[in-house]
Structure 1
Amino acid sequence: MKNFIVKIMGNTSKKLAAKCTLLTKDEQKYLAATFRAASKNSDKIREEDLIVSGKLDAVLLERFWGPQIDPRLAQFLTNFLFGYGPNKSPSCDFNRFAELYVYNVRGTSEERMMVAYNSLGMDFNDTIELPYQLLREYCESIASTYIKVLKSASSSRAKTWINKGFRGRASHVQALGEAIAASVEGDADVTLNACTSNQLNKWLQLNTLLRQMTEAVFVNLYGINKKTGDESPGPVARAEPCLMPLPIGLDSMPDYPAFIDLSHIVWLNSHIPQKHQDKWRFLFSSHIHGESFSTMTGRIQDQGASLLIIEDNSGYIFGGYAPASWSLGPNFVGTDESFLFTLAPKMRVYPATTYNNHYQYINHHTKTLPNGLLMGGQFHFGAIWVNGDPFGEGSSAESCSTYKGYKRLSKEPNFRIKSLEVWGVGDKPMSLKESDERDLSVLDVNPEAKAILDMAGRTRHSEGIREPPPL
């Protein structure tokens, strides 16, 4: 994909865009409009059009980039567009402007790595290591801009969350960027000074969250996929990829007590199976439904896969993804899709080791087995233990062989629950009764009609096209 834009003659942005063979026709149109606005109808964008005395030119950038871009990312992009050090140029042409878009939206891992190096003021070379602190700044600037885009977009999904009190607080957005950068190393809590090109290449291939956020950011900044007839240079977010799930069940609660952040939702949703990412179904809140274990179990049973989210009295937020329906009983259930996570003070995910299958347990009103909810570990030494009676007490063990890289989730081994929520993810599974009813013929529920057809000697065609019963 490198050097994909040919040398261009001409002085209109439309002619320039038409020569970019790897841009779609719609992309050519929108990039031309954005370039025309930024270049003031010339064939080059000058640095002083974007940066004035080292500060963002609010008058120009407010038109299409200003309100939605983190100041750090703005500086990184000028490094890419105009260069740095002795090779710095006073202007950039349409070629470079389009390269920034294409490499970020659909570039190879090597091309995206080159963008990262150049944006951080470094020449790309396989032998040059990238300082980890710079990588972290880059990830934080992408995360910050993505949340800004999300909050300013017209997406009904984002608006529903925001209107219910979910915010994109700076500290949580910063933690999201840190978590993305930390995943460049196998152990996210190992302190790195620098990253090799091999580490970065592998990381860029595997980190789908960073790729999706970066794509959404640049599609937005370049004004791609606007409504038909909208020729303005301002950006409009594209519907896909959307990292925000559709919230189901919040509309009827005017005073919803949100305690997690938009950044947390994006982080968690990116880690659950893709088939469940489209919607979250609100099932239980200790603030709304009361501190009652019986109420909680009644509301979360037979609901399919779910997320348990807990805030302790020290402000630590953590929980687990339960891939199977919760069901009262003496046995552990679940699969190795299960994982535990922390959201505050850091965002981390602990996947299953398959060492044992102690993923989900819930029981109540029994004399011989513990009464409560457990994820991971053993009875009395659970990674997450929520006591059944009295409700409101919990514990998190120092070690847990069920989950890889596990570290205690709460601040203290024993904690008081400040907030507890359960969200079903994806569609609610059909009950056996609903499944059986769906397979019934009208003749099964109307024996009179069946008898009339028998007397008339008519064939019952619906019986001939049924699926054979399972063996």
Structure 2
Amino acid sequence: MRSQQTCLHSVVMYPAAVGQKTGCLEDDLALECVETAVQEELGQADVAVMASPPKEPSELLLNGRSSILKSGEMQQLAPHLPPRMTTGHPWSLLYCTARNGFSLKTLYRSMTSLSCPVLLVIRDTNGQMFGAFSSTSIRVSSSFYGTGETFLFSFSPELKVFKWTGSNTFFMKGDADLLVIGGGSGKFGLWLDGDLYRGGSCPCETFNNETLSHQEEFFIQDLEVWALP
């Protein structure tokens, strides 16, 4: 049986893979963050909780059917995506656990040689829906990568969007055993294990986010990755 973990404000316990593979302390993260992300002016990035979407019309079109997001939820999310990604071009389903099984390695393989924007959508075993947007594809990396367009979101049940604070560039990092999005002070905004069986979410400096699920550790029921070719 897999061991449970809890994210606390003062002490954080991680799966063995985290401590061994990535280094959880902020000092280690800073040393690893050698790939320079696209910078925005610090202090100008918007941290949006219950964010007011822009007025320009936008639509999230999927080339297929999502087993997680309904039409109303997709249209709530659409205005928070960069405008160039909601101009009538449909998103394609690159990976889903229902079709491809539960494997982080398979998820990486589905995006081999791609550099397109991706939308990661998760439903946990409690029915909570949340995820992340990245302007670059998900890949194995030795250091953090991504841009300030990256954000986390949660339907709880209304949409909450957590955008880049400008405090660091710990956008995304992954290896065979762990995928993390957002970090700082030894906490990850969102992490998923190598089996895509469980994950966790803690408030982190990158996005100043709330815990995305009802609990700081969750078990995955469905996961999808949509990409804009």
CA contact (8 A) 2:198 2:217 kept: yes
Of residues 155, 179, 185, the one that matches 1:373 is 179
CA contact (8 A) 2:68 2:122 kept: no
Residues 395/207 of structure 1: CA separation in 2 closer, same or farther (3 Å cut): closer
Which has more helix, going by share of residues?
1
CA distance in 1, matches of 2:53, 2:106: 39
Provide the secondary structure at the position in 2 that maps to 1:377. Answer: coil
Equivalent residues in 2 for 1:82-97, closer than 5 Å: none
Unaligned runs of 5+ in 1: 1-185, 190-202, 213-240, 251-255, 365-370, 429-471
Aligned equivalent of 1:221: none
CA contact (8 A) 2:121 2:131 kept: yes
Provide the secondary structure at the position in 2 that maps to 1:275. Answer: helix
Cα deviation for residue 261 of structure 1 reads: 1.1
Cα deviation for residue 386 of structure 1 reads: 0.5
Find runs of 4+ consecutive structure 1 residues off by over 6 angstroms: none
The aligned amino acid for 2:181 is M
Aligned equivalent of 2:59: 243
Of residues 387, 390, 410, the one that matches 2:213 is 410
Cα deviation for residue 264 of structure 1 reads: 1.4
CA contact (8 A) 1:300 1:422 kept: no
| Correspondence 1:391 to 2:200 | no
**Relative contact order: is structure 1 or structure 2 higher (C-alpha 8 Å, sep ≥ 6)?**
2
| Correspondence 1:261 to 2:64 | no
Q: Deviations over 1:12-33 (max 9, x none)?
A: xxxxxxxxxxxxxxxxxxxxxx
Aligned equivalent of 1:270: 79
Unaligned runs of 5+ in 2: 1-46
Equivalent residues in 2 for 1:114-193, closer than 5 Å: 188=49
Aligned equivalent of 1:401: 205
Identical-residue share of aligned pairs (%): 25
Aligned equivalent of 1:336: 148
CA distance in 1, matches of 2:60, 2:48: 27
Cα deviation for residue 327 of structure 1 reads: 2.3
The aligned amino acid for 1:349 is V
Cα deviation for residue 378 of structure 1 reads: 4.5
| Correspondence 1:317 to 2:126 | no
Aligned equivalent of 1:298: 109
Provide the secondary structure at the position in 1 that maps to 2:140. Answer: coil
CA contact (8 A) 1:312 1:418 kept: yes
| Correspondence 1:422 to 2:228 | no
CA distance in 2, matches of 1:343, 1:362: 25
Give the aligned length. 180
Cα deviation for residue 343 of structure 1 reads: 2.0
Compute the TM-score of the two structures, normalised by the length of structure 2. Answer: 0.71
Cα deviation for residue 274 of structure 1 reads: 1.2
The aligned amino acid for 1:314 is N
CA contact (8 A) 1:315 1:344 kept: no
CA distance in 1, matches of 2:48, 2:142: 35
CA distance in 1, matches of 2:107, 2:185: 20
Residues 329/317 of structure 1: CA separation in 2 closer, same or farther (3 Å cut): same
The aligned amino acid for 2:211 is R
CA distance in 2, matches of 1:385, 1:344: 19
CA distance in 2, matches of 1:424, 1:383: 21
CA distance in 2, matches of 1:374, 1:291: 17
Please tell me the root mean square deviation across aligned C-alpha atoms, in Å. 2.4
